[in-house]
Chain A
């Protein structure tokens, strides 16, 4: 019945306006609501999707592709297969830089984690003037790593720096902070902790504030001490935040800090602070070895992915309901 009616109507329209397609009823062709929404979404997303494609996704793919080429001067590319990777395996300077990166990550990440967690716990307390402490502790984060580098170079200067002055005043010998390879690496780590602790403190603080207050009240009624409370309530419930901090700071430690190294130590002394990312930068922009640098960069990314995967498996993505 309705089929017949529809047929009738269609025939009617066709007869009345033979030039028009059968399913448009109005005079001007209009998109359906659904299609208008698709079109709008496409237009809204276009700039960002295009930008991310050209400036993030394609470079990422290119980076792997480039590692199989010898790139020389302006735009001449020669396919050399695994040549860059072979060179990498036999490059002692690269492995030195990897070793330094390893040391850097192994010290920086746990220290930064403990310091920021400690600060987070501290500034969550209802202390008088707690807002001021939060501000002061976070402040170094807003200063650029370049300025931070300049500033600490001044403070750590062997002859005139205030750190050595204070040590001499206390009857100690000054140390050549930035003049010895191992001390310099220690200084880079310490400065990084100083810069980043406030940032992760805020992230921990946010995580701590998410934990329902009732749990703590219940623990207090049960007579639990601060350590027991921390171990049984805070630590397990903070696991997603801890995971996030661990992952972020590891990735940042492996691939970041270039600015600070540039200004504070320039990779020295005796390549003592030449992190892998710094060595890669030097090879690319110092010597124009784009292909070789890309091979090392890809290797670094692989390591990063592996570490993230290990972190994920061990902490199950930081979920605390790991019983089920």
Chain B
């Protein structure tokens, strides 16, 4: 009895001390988190505010512009076909995203739900292509695209970028987790596989499709190396290529370069702030395999 009371008392005091320690450590951790977040944010913030500075003040070392100007953005859009670059990136990213979602969801549905011989082996083979990273096959891909006459065309920018096993894999995982009852009911009602896919499975996969859509769009908007080797035509220049050549052309005109960079980054930042949850969710699923 006595020892019981004793242990209870030590427990409560330990708990109180622990709470106090927790509170102060909580304040410390919050401070740490704030500082780290600012470090993370700062370079981007610096880029955006500097793009509103004049040529003379762009390197003045101040965060807030002294004489605020829109002139850099006007210059970027009038002196360089930057609108064209943005349109090219928007166009190819959109087409790739839509096509990829359509093909991947079809393939993933077949792999998750339809029964056919060799299904697991096929999935294994598709999964194995995940290990082949893009830079490794850049050279043969270039030669294949050249043989197929895809260089310097929208098709060449779009078609090779559609196919990757990552989307198939995530969608298959998602379909494996869906309840079968609805599909079975539809089959009993006499629906074919296409109607089941189109009318039932596709609408049910809206959340994961929207998450993947943002992911694909982002990846393709930011793509640089493939457009660099696959195109040389000015009319096909995508925004990332535009920035990189702009940067070599205007070496020290930081006000223009940063304005161009801000314009290129802004759509992704906006997308990110709107669809943050979806982006984070799709990354989480990819990590948990």
Contacts and interface: CB of A to CB of B under 8 A. Distances in A.
A89 interface: no
Contacts of B280: 134, 138, 202
B193 A37 contact: yes
Contacts of A194: 40, 43
Interface bin, chain A: 35 or more
Nearest to A254: B133
Given A55-B144, A160-B59, A277-B135, A122 B40 contact: no
B243 to A, nearest CB: 5
Interface residues of B, number: 89
Contacts of B271: 142
B144 A263 contact: no
Contacts of A59: 132, 137, 140-141, 144
Nearest to B160: A55
Interface stretch (B74-82, B177-185, B203-211, B281-289): B281-289
Interface stretch (A16-24, A148-156, A211-219): A148-156
A290 B139 contact: yes
A184 interface: no
A144 B287 contact: no
A123 B244 contact: no
Interface in A25-70: 34, 36-38, 40-42, 44-45, 47-49, 51-52, 54-60, 62-63, 66
Nearest to B15: A220
Given A47-B107, A55-B163, A151-B47, A60 B257 contact: no
| Interface majority SS (helix, strand, loop, mixed), chain B | helix
Nearest to B32: A122
Interface in B218-234: 218, 221-222, 224-225, 229
B159 interface: yes
Interface string B130-161: 01111111111111100000000000000110
A288 B30 CA distance: 54
A129 B26 CA distance: 12
B116 A38 contact: yes
A312 B264 CA distance: 39
B209 to A, nearest CB: 15
Nearest to A62: B140
B87 interface: no
A165 B59 CA distance: 10
Nearest to B224: A259
Given A122-B33, A202-B280, A60 B224 contact: no
5 contacts: A66-B139, A119-B36, A135-B273, A143-B265, A149-B244
Nearest 10 pairs of A and B residues by beta carbon: A144-B222, A51-B163, A160-B59, A203-B287, A136-B37, A40-B193, A206-B284, A59-B140, A62-B140, A44-B110
